[in-house]
Structure 1
Amino acid sequence: MLNRQVRSLLSLAVFGGLTAAAAVVGSRVTRPKRDVWYRALRKPVFQPPPVVFPIVWTGLYALMAISANRVAWAPKSADRSAALALWAAQLGLNAAWTPLFFGKHRPQLALADMTALIGTVSAYTAVAQRVDAKAPLLMAPYLGWLGLAGAINAEIIRKNPLLASDALVGR
């Protein structure tokens, strides 16, 4: 039987793989340099340069995986199960945002997804706190980044009032 440390590393690899899968979903539709629609949008002055996004997301995905792994290794409980379910739900919402925004050109739907994502991550941190004190701390940078991403998303909608027109959403 594998010792606890090896099993923990294998578990971390699984959570890392899940977060990597979510990242791949986004990377398949994110081509801002070649996306005429995205380049034409008026963007907020506080939006970081494109080079920042993959660097930040790499670190955030690692922290997400470590957080989930810590929860998974906590003693079995209803809170542990709930936290892991919330973690999985937030990962799905995370994976959905990029196709909604960049793939479908639907920033309004992406903002609704972002709102649900922030709520789900907040719920995860509240429940995870009851299971492992460090797990929610690992998600704090992610929550901060989601707040920025949500503000960018909302500001793009505000600065581009014609986004709701059929011509601009590609229908």
Structure 2
Amino acid sequence: MTAITPQHAVPHRDAAPRARSLLVLAVLVGANFVVGALGSLATRTAVDGWYADAEKVPWNPPPWVFGPAWSLLYVLMGVAAWLVWRRAGWSGARGALSLYVVQLALNAAWTPVFFAGRHIWVALAIIVALLGLVVATIVAFRRHSRVAAWLLVPYAAWLAFATSLNLGIGLLN
């Protein structure tokens, strides 16, 4: 007679895919925070330098708002990309995830151009293109996951707000 092993004693079959899935989530969220960390290096001298002295629009928030706002957005962005990857995989969502990578690269480019380079009008062109790419990413993500698309909406809204700040600084200075 053979002993019957209870199901819970057998290693879970999905343990490896679950571990891989969590690793992909960590990489996607982590990549966003790397972009943010690189951006913060570009802002160090500018925030207390020329940016502090620049004329700003009345709706410009205090500097302390930006860190928490971007931290939340980076998490939402990473989770959104992960949901798309989880639903369709890299090959099944190649177009959507490629848009995501390109917008992330533009996101990374804006901060040093604006803060370190003080190229306000070039930065405005970058952020307008970035906003367009994020809207395209939302549309592409929606084909794979409505939740993922909605998770990018606060990012698009923040970028629209940031675009108004960029434009205001350009016009006022």
Specify whether residues 33 and 86 from structure 1 end up closer, same or farther in structure 2 by C-alpha distance, changes over 3 A only. Answer: closer
How far off its partner does 1:76 sit?
Answer: 4.6
- Aligned equivalent of 1:152: 165
Please give the TM-score of this superposition, normalised by the length of structure 1.
0.88
SS in 1 for 2:88: coil
Q: How far, CA to CA, are the matches of 1:26 and 1:55 in structure 2?
A: 14
Please give the TM-score of this superposition, normalised by the length of structure 2.
0.87
More helix per residue: 2
- Aligned equivalent of 2:55: 42
Gaps of 5+ in 1: 161-171
Gaps of 5+ in 2: 1-12
Report the RMSD for the aligned CA atoms in angstroms.
1.6
> Partner amino acid for 2:17?
R
Percent of residue pairs bearing the same amino acid type? 38
Answer whether contact 2:90 2:97 (CA < 8 A) is retained.
no
How far off its partner does 1:8 sit?
Answer: 1.5
- Any idea what the Cα deviations from partners look like across 1:98-127, whole Å, max 9, x if unmatched? 000001000101000001100000000001
- How many positions carry a matched residue from both structures? 159
**Structure of larger gyration radius:** 2
Q: How far, CA to CA, are the matches of 2:52 and 2:60 in structure 1?
A: 13
Query: Segments of 4+ in structure 1 off by > 4 A?
Result: 76-79
Residue 138 in 1 paired to residue 157 in 2? Answer: no
> Partner amino acid for 2:68?
I
- Any idea what the Cα deviations from partners look like across 1:26-73, whole Å, max 9, x if unmatched? 0111124432x2122100110111110001000000000000001111
